[in-house]
């Protein structure tokens, strides 16, 4: 092998390594764009391959349960009421069933397409947990209306947060993707910051 061939081989390997590394770190953004495109197009097959529905449902259940517990602990009337804990135990079952009913592919697609959390989930003790079983499909917001932030949580988890620029009081809404293999990612958590 001549010297020029060795140089070309070295350069080629360097370029290939750089492309693999760039692909490794850019892959969650590409996966998120694919997820958003599938949600907006109503492509259920692509959506189902991009979302771990059991993990998303569990994340919603844990957020709602934690919010209910926090509200009971922060409210002196509920905190000192011996029946509040019993009522909270009953509501845990309601939360599980409500989230299982609500967190459908269509509802998740709606959240991803509009970059908005659902308005119908309530963690108020004693009140309905889900006011509507299925949200209305909303028109996606213009990109200029939405502030988006991306970042790695760790090498296997990537978070995108969305906030409406026009609504300063709106809590950020987050999507967390988990690495499944070298370049494949799945949505595993929807963060409803108003509950956290």
Q: Domain count of the chain?
A: 1
Residue 31 has φ and ψ, to the nearest 5°, of -65, -40
* pTM of the complete model: 0.73
Assess contact for 70 and 78: CB atoms under 8 A.
no
Per-residue pLDDT of the chain (196 residues; tens, 9 = 90+): 687 778 878 888 888 888 878 878 889 999 999 998 998 888 888 988 999 999 999 998 888 888 877 777 777 776 677 776 666 677 777 778 878 877 788 888 888 888 777 665 554 444 434 443 344 445 555 556 778 889 999 999 999 998 877 766 666 789 999 999 888 999 999 988 665 4
Residue 122 has φ and ψ, to the nearest 5°, of -130, 135
CA distance 138 to 145: 15
For residue 79, give its domain range. 3-192
Beta bridge partners of 154: 157
Identify each DSSP E strand in the chain by its residue range.
Answer: 146-154, 157-164, 173-179, 185-192
């Amino acid at each position: 092998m001549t010297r020029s061939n060795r140089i070309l081989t070295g350069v080629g390997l360097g370029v290939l390594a750089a492309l693999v590394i760039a692909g490794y770190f850019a892959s969650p953004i590409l996966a998120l764009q694919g997820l958003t495109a599938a949600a907006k197009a109503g492509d259920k097959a692509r959506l189902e391959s991009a979302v771990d529905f059991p993990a998303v449902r569990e994340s919603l259940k844990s957020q709602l349960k934690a919010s209910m517990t926090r509200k009971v602990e922060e409210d002196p009337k509920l905190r000192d009421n011996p029946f509040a804990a019993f009522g909270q135990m009953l509501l845990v079952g309601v939360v599980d069933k409500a989230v299982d009913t609500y967190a459908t592919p269509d509802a998740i697609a709606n959240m991803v397409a509009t970059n908005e959390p659902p308005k119908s989930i309530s963690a108020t003790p004693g009140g309905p947990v889900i006011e509507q079983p299925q949200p209305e499909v909303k028109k996606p917001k213009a990109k200029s209306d939405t502030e988006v932030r991306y970042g790695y949580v760790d090498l296997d988890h990537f978070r995108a947060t969305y906030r409406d620029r026009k609504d300063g009081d709106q809590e950020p809404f987050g999507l967390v993707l988990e690495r499944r293999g070298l370049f494949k990612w799945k949505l595993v958590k929807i963060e409803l910051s108003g509950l956290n």
